[in-house]
């Protein structure tokens, strides 16, 4: 359950039809371990936390799953209307309900992407607040914690797509490695790819890159906000029901 992070942006499928992402990579590994494994992915890009809880949690629980991943709240933290008290109270309640069904739950501390975004100093306290609460909720309800925040590897630009908000294919593989580790399984060693130090660009080159990024990614995001639209409008879950995983 979740938003673009779990849907798989920006990790294109090898055949170019849609996105893969860390959840599909993990599902492939689990399918190798259990021939009767089935998998659903309800995540939709752009979804805010209330919509994830209202739309995806009932659909997920109706499938009576053994394992659920939940990652949400990042889109909310980018908005002026962010209400941490309401979000965190409902988050705690939701995880308690899901754990009460007997399902195992994966929760995520988000990696720090604020260094790449304008207004990062404004957003960073919100990310820290969410991450701290995720750890507390995981402890309280016995959920499995995937701690991306503590992995300095996510500081490397190659783990992020050109929009600076979504993971690249390399980034999704690294998340998949973290998830499998949290589940007690060994990932493909290549997913812990050793990263060479990023080249430092001259100031003028960096500012030119920033300007191109703003025109290509920031401006459309602002326009959608002003129009009350989301990148996930008219998007359906890529795997809406439990089914055997075929990559």
- pLDDT, tens only, 113-158: 887 776 678 889 999 999 999 999 999 999 999 999 999 999 998 9
**Which pTM was predicted?**
0.90
Whether the ω angle into residue 178 lies within 30 degrees of 0, i.e. cis, is no
pLDDT tens for residues 43-85?
Answer: 999 999 999 999 999 999 999 999 999 999 999 998 888 999 9
Pairing label, strands 38-41, 239-244: antiparallel
- Domain ranges within the chain, ordered by starting residue: 4-197, 199-230
The CATH superfamily assigned to 4-197 is SGNH hydrolase (3.40.50.1110)
């Amino acid at each position: 359950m979740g938003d673009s992070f779990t849907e798989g942006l920006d990790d294109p499928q090898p055949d170019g039809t849609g996105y893969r992402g860390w959840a599909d990579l993990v599902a492939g590994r689990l399918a190798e371990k259990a021939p009767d494994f089935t998998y659903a992915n309800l995540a939709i890009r752009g979804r805010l936390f209330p919509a994830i809880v209202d739309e995806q949690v009932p659909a997920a629980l109706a499938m009576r799953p053994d394992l659920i991943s939940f990652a949400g709240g990042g889109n909310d933290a980018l908005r002026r209307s962010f209400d941490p008290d309401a979000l965190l109270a409902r988050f705690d309640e939701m995880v308690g309900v899901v754990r009460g069904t007997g399902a195992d739950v994966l929760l995520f501390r988000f990696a720090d992407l604020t260094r790449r975004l304008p207004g990062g100093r404004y957003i960073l306290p919100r990310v820290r607040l969410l991450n701290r609460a995720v750890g507390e909720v995981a402890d309280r309800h016995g959920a499995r914690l995937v701690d991306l925040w503590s992995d300095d590897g996510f500081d490397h630009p190659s783990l992020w797509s050109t929009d600076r908000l979504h993971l690249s294919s390399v980034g999704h593989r690294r998340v998949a490695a973290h998830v499998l580790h949290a589940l007690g399984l060994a990932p493909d060693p290549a997913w812990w790819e050793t990263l060479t130090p990023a080249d430092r660009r001259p100031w003028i080159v960096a500012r030119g890159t920033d300007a191109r990024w703003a025109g290509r990614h920031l401006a459309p995001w602002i326009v959608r906000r002003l129009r009350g639209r989301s990148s996930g409008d008219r998007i359906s879950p890529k795997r809406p029901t439990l089914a055997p995983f075929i990559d």
